[in-house]
Amino acid sequence: MTEDPDSPHPSKWHEIAQHVPRRTNKDCRKRWFAKMANHTEKGGWALEEDEKLVQAIEKYGARWPLVSTHVQTRNSGQCAKRWTETLNPLIDRTQWSTEADSLLIKAVEEHGKQWTKIARIYFPGRTGLAAKNR
């Protein structure tokens, strides 16, 4: 594959990183895609953005820089957060039981407000955001 010299996206990350102190080729690439390559929106997601995100996940998996390029209006961090906290169909959205509520209270007493950790340890399938909101 040949590089287009007029392409708006740099592609020689090793060479670019040589000019940026204390940064690797990955650091430079991530920074480009997260901050500079796309016009990123803030705030709520539009239905069209969610649809593009789902399509991109089907095509690229959790390769967030590629996913964000497909979505076009969001950076890789925004895409990852939207997928993992909201759109992933594997998220457990069942009603919280009395036992789960009691376990959540004990987990907060033990771990504080480390919601992601609490969800991962005690409530597999639920998100940290769901634990926090509960």
Cα(109)–Cα(107) distance, integer angstroms: 5
Please give the share of the chain, as a percent, with pLDDT higher than 90: 66
| pTM given for the model | 0.65
Give the Å distances, CA to CA, from 44 to 3, 41, 78, 100, 119. Answer: 36, 9, 11, 30, 24
Do residues 71 and 41 lie in contact, with contact meaning Cβ atoms separated by under 8 Å? no
Residue 20: phi, psi to the nearest 5?
-120, 105
Alpha helices in the chain (DSSP H): 13-17, 25-31, 47-60, 64-71, 76-82, 98-111, 115-122, 128-133
At 68-84, the pLDDT tens digits run: 999 988 988 999 999 99
Give the Å distances, CA to CA, from 89 to 4, 52, 54, 127. Answer: 38, 15, 10, 12
* pLDDT score of 13: 86
At 10-48, the pLDDT tens digits run: 568 888 888 999 999 888 888 877 666 556 778 899 999
